[in-house]
Amino acid sequence: MKPRHLIFLILIITSFTTKASSVDSLLQLIQTEKKDTNRVNILLNITVELRSNYPDSAKSYANQALQISKRVGFSKGKNEAIYQLSVIEYFKGNYEQALKYIKISKELLSRNKKFERELALTLIIEGNVYKNIGNYNKAIEIYDECLRISKRQKDNHLWIIVSNNKANIYRREGNHDEAIKIYEEALKLCKTEDFEADRIMVLGNIGLVYKEQKEYETALSYYEQVLAYHEKTGNKRSTAILLNNIGNIYSDQEKYNQSLKAHQESLEIRQEIGDLSGQASSFLNIGNIYLKAFRDYKRALEYSMRSLEINQKINSNEGTANAFLTIANIYQEQKNHKKAIENGEKGLLLLENNDALQLKQSAYEILSASYEAIGNYKTSITYFRKFQEVKDSIFSQTNRDAVNDLTRKYRLEQHEQELTGQQILLDKEKARRSLYLGVIIFLLVLGFLSFYTIRQKQSANSKLQQLNEEVKAQNEELLLAQNRLKVANQDLNSFTRMASHDLKEPLRMMGSFSQLLKRRNKNLDESSQEYIGYITDAAQRMTRMIDDMLSYATNNIRIENMEQLDLNQVLSTVKENLKLRIKENNAVINVADNLPSIKGQDSLIGQVFQNLIANGIKFQQPDIRPEINITAESTSTENIFKITDNGIGIAPENQTKVFQLFKRFNHEYEGSGIGLATCKKIVELHNGTIDLESEEGKGTTFILRFPV
């Protein structure tokens, strides 16, 4: 077990023991307590202790408190029990049931102004429900009513909680400037009132802002502080949220194994405490990892569908829309554009009255690409324009400056606290000097040396801070340049696709009209028929060439998941993929037993072997059965694989050119000239080499070398 996991386990056990001890004490009290109102209060205290980590048990105690309160006419106990039931259902993601309890609670609490603060707490849960199902306008309306109550009650703790929730909505909508202003004011209040738990909550949300700005290391530093606090206090619900957020950062950094581990830990906790909304989020995040990192479409779809089912069950429009868009993305990756459009439009429809700009941006991007893929360019361009509009409105440089200003102010406040503490120590030292005259000189010298050391340290720190600011500014400039390059690459890809379409259209017309001319003029002489054939063949070759150029231009080969590969298993998959071609050509594929393993990405290494075997089958000699032999040998530094065929071979003058893009030397066989170029690119990405030995008319051997 890793040290971090061991520490977390100890903290959870300690917290559980503490809570269990507290609950046990309360259960002992209730056995001896005779007064019904006191029994209700004890049951409600047990509910509060258990509701975050054990909501089902908490619900049982809350129902007992409610029944006793109704029987004896204890209105305060009845109000509190109904409120606790609404909180429990909210924690579990049962939003419809939570709203039913909230409605009853509001009706009871509105009758008496002395319950105004209790009413505000109920309204907070109601606002949170509407926030989670994507009705932001309704949620903000409710939060504003809570803020008015907090001011009348002069309750700063209540104000911080409500303002933080309101700021979270602004952050989701992309209005970071407004969100940051609220976080800043909340931090000041936390300092004034010494609200440590509230300060931790606000710091976690500031971490989310940094994450959305792609300043991942800064965001992680905030998350680690907050996670340590929640692990220490044993708050499983908040721990799961933080693990989910950390998993999202690792995913954005393409550290997919770490991301998957964090999300799986979060999911386990959420399943343990019955948090449906959290489970839906975790399932979707895990599905996205299987899609982006491993191209495991089956698992990606399975996890995304589980998320969709839960979101539909709890009536979360935003969560349901997000699940539909992820499913659309999976189908788009599989080239199933019809289903991609179907699910993308379902997701977009749910976002019609929602201000979740980032989800809308994702929907427009998926639909634009899918409609383009099926040739509906008019609709594709419409969605692409909407995508650009949303993208441009999400974030601005002003928001970035506001975040940096918030950070500087927060650090300055910390520094002022340190200086205040130092001043207190100096005052105490002066008091001691007045009592001990004999050590005055010694203390003065010591103070002078300390002062000099501090000044020197401050000077060095000042220079270091200046250098850090310069590095930060350079990093921001680099990030902007990277973003501009990314946009330029996207524009270039869009231009390439549009140019391909514009070039292919006249070729299609040439081919179509040539065929039409041939059908309508069957009596043309043999030469005319031959000339028409030349035109048709040339148009088809040009179309294939344009398709190949587009494929290579937009091909972005990346290694995302290096692992130790069993080459016998890889080749078994390759043979299964080529099963039909092998059968049609009566080919024999011989693979040596116990091939050495190599470190690489499964799909890419498989693509290399599949291309080489397919070429060996395709470039066969007439009346000779194709036979391909795969062997291997190992040295202390490398593994060497040989793929040998009995095909037509390659002329000596062409052997140095076969790995060049679009190079073809035998036009009797179909091909594009990019297969071997792609193989070379993949092998070199794995720090390997590819060579060949060939004799014309006798076959070819391709030699792959990979480091041990």
- Residue range 70-117, pLDDT digits in tens: 999 998 888 899 999 999 988 888 888 989 999 998 888 888 888 888
* Residue 212 near residue 248, CB atoms below 8 Å: no
620 vs 492, more confident: 620
Q: For strand 627-634 and strand 588-591, is the pairing parallel, antiparallel, or unpaired?
A: parallel
Q: By CB neighbour count within 10 A (0-12 exposed, 13-18 middle, 19+ buried), where does 604 fall?
A: buried
What is the number of other CB atoms lying within 10 angstroms of the CB of residue 503? 15
Rounded percentage of the chain residues whose pLDDT exceeds 70? 82
Q: What is the model's pLDDT at position 15?
A: 42
pLDDT above 50: residue 339: yes
* Residue 149 near residue 117, CB atoms below 8 Å: yes
- Residue range 127-184, pLDDT digits in tens: 999 988 888 899 999 999 999 998 998 999 899 989 889 988 888 777 877 888 888 8
Q: By CB neighbour count within 10 A (0-12 exposed, 13-18 middle, 19+ buried), where does 455 fall?
A: exposed
Is 665 strand, coil or helix? coil
Token readout for 375 is 């040739």
pLDDT above 60: residue 21: no
Alpha-carbon span 237 to 54, nearest angstrom: 10
645 vs 18, more confident: 645
Q: What is the model's pLDDT at position 296?
A: 92
Q: What is the model's pLDDT at position 9?
A: 38
- The distance between the two most distant Cα atoms of the chain, rounded to a whole number of Å, is 128
* Residue 562 near residue 601, CB atoms below 8 Å: yes
Start-to-end C-alpha separation, the chain: 29
CA atoms within 13 A on the CB side of 217: 2
What is the number of other CB atoms lying within 10 angstroms of the CB of residue 156? 17
pLDDT above 50: residue 473: yes
Q: What is the model's pLDDT at position 597?
A: 93
Rounded percentage of the chain residues whose pLDDT exceeds 90? 30
pLDDT-derived band of residue 647, with 50, 70 and 90 as boundaries? very high
* Residue 162 near residue 146, CB atoms below 8 Å: yes
- Residue range 522-568, pLDDT digits in tens: 777 777 777 877 787 777 767 766 665 665 555 555 666 789 999 99
Q: Which helix H or strand E contains 700, and what residues bound it?
A: strand 699-707
Highest mean pLDDT among 196-200, 290-294, 352-356: 290-294
Alpha-carbon span 368 to 552, nearest angstrom: 21
CATH 3.30.565.10 given to domain 563-707: yes
Which of 424-428, 639-643, 644-648, 670-674 has the lowest average pLDDT? 424-428
Highest mean pLDDT among 341-345, 435-439, 558-562, 673-677: 341-345
Domain ranges of the chain: 434-556, 563-707
Vertex 314 angle, CA 310 and 320, to 5°: 60
- Residue range 246-288, pLDDT digits in tens: 999 998 888 999 999 999 999 999 999 888 889 999 999 999 9
pLDDT above 70: residue 395: no
Handedness of CA 344, 347, 352, 354 (dihedral sign): negative
pLDDT-derived band of residue 351, with 50, 70 and 90 as boundaries? confident
* Residue 106 near residue 288, CB atoms below 8 Å: no
pLDDT-derived band of residue 7, with 50, 70 and 90 as boundaries? very low
pLDDT above 50: residue 2: no
What is the residue-averaged pLDDT of the chain? 81
Handedness of CA 316, 322, 326, 327 (dihedral sign): positive
Q: By CB neighbour count within 10 A (0-12 exposed, 13-18 middle, 19+ buried), where does 700 fall?
A: buried
